[in-house]
Amino acid sequence: MTALTQYQRIEAAALWREHGAEQRRDVIVSLGDSTLIISDLHERPLTHWSLSAIKRDNPGKTPAIYRPDNDSHETLELAANEDTMVEAIETLCRVIDRRRPKRGRMRMASLIGISFAVMLLILIWVPVAIRDYAVRVVPMVSQIELGERLSLYLRPYTGQPCSAPIANLAVKKLRDRILGPDAQLEILRQGLRDVLVLPGNIYLASSHLVEDYEDPDVLAGYLLVAKTAHPPELTLRDTLRETGTLATFGMLTTGHMSDGAIQNYADTLIKSAPVPVDTDRLVAAFSAANLRLAPYAYARDITGEQTLPLLEAEAIRTDTPRAALSDRDWVSLQGICGG
């Protein structure tokens, strides 16, 4: 630290004793950059004291007596009339003391910083860790129960699932063809844009995909896109993320999720937008399912402009896709909601 400007040229007479047994000698004291310079009467420096370590032996008394540190036997006694030098030393010592790092403050700042980092870690890492663990350990039977309860909370928006004995057989055939025998497929009258996927491999499809198109491959295409966009693990992960850490923890500890969490998620899910799927993944999925791309592509955009990559991929296919359902099954399925 540089000495304060108004004190840079101050000198004072004093008595200096280097050791406790030595006789005091006359010296001249001056201020330097962060030091107190003690010189003999010929202005030859005898020693330098650091201003940050100087201690006064007799605060408030005169003449002022100083030491270079607490343990030293070296002393400096300023003359009684050297008030300016005493004031300068006291002022600089106070300035240095204020600028010196305070251990208590540093400890408190460190404690606050560590606490904040721990809290941030808890807020960010713990929910993700709990969710990842739940995705790994929650059994399929619990996922199915969660999906079925979620389906019930969606009923105010969707109404009851459509059902008819002959049509139900067609639903089963379409499910087995596109989704697999372990999936559940329900056709619903209202409230859905196209297809919703719930935990437990449960698919809810809008009846307009059945009633508004003459080709079963439209409904099959939407189901396949939903399956590609929402594999079971991702569907469960999304559900746990949206319902929150407490609901996830409850799922882990009791095997069930609270009604409030499911209700809130149902209200959000019914308004959610479709998840976009990469074109290459879609083309691969349709090829693996031996399903035509064109009916789905034109159902999404009747002009074909927005789904041109799908139509182009269809044009260069070398395999021969087969219809998702026979005409007879499709006709029976179209009457599932009484239309």
Q: For the chain, how many residues are written?
A: 339
Tokens 């409030």: give the residue: 260
CA–CA separation, 153 and 314 (whole Å): 39
Token digits of residue 271: 């308004």
Domain boundaries, the chain: 5-99, 102-137, 139-334
Return the pLDDT at 116.
Answer: 74
Return the pLDDT at 179.
Answer: 96
pLDDT in tens, 205-230: 999 999 999 999 999 999 999 999 99
User: Is pTM beyond 0.85 here?
Assistant: no
CA–CA separation, 311 and 288 (whole Å): 17
What angle, 0 to 180 degrees and rounded to 10, lies between the N-to-C axes of helices 165-174 and 327-334?
A: 120
Sign of CA dihedral 265, 266, 270, 274: positive
Return the pLDDT at 2.
Answer: 47
CATH number of 5-99: 2.30.29.30
Strand pairing category for 25-31 and 75-78: unpaired
pLDDT in tens, 93-148: 777 777 766 566 667 767 787 877 777 766 677 778 888 888 898 899 999 999 99
Q: Which of 238, 158, 240 is nearest to 206 (CA)?
A: 158
Return the pLDDT at 206.
Answer: 96
**Element (DSSP H or E) covering residue 286:** helix 279-288
Bridge partners of 75, per DSSP, are 17
Main-chain phi, psi angles of 240, to 5 degrees: -70, -35
Return the pLDDT at 312.
Answer: 94
Token digits of residue 26: 């006359």
3-state secondary structure of 95: helix
Q: Where does residue 319 rank: exposed (0-12), middle (13-18), buried (19+ CB within 10 A)? A: exposed
CA–CA separation, 273 and 147 (whole Å): 19
**Element (DSSP H or E) covering residue 38:** strand 35-39
CA–CA separation, 16 and 193 (whole Å): 95
CA–CA separation, 301 and 307 (whole Å): 7
Number of C-alpha atoms within 13 angstroms, CB side, residue 87?
8
Ranges in the chain, pLDDT < 50: 1-3
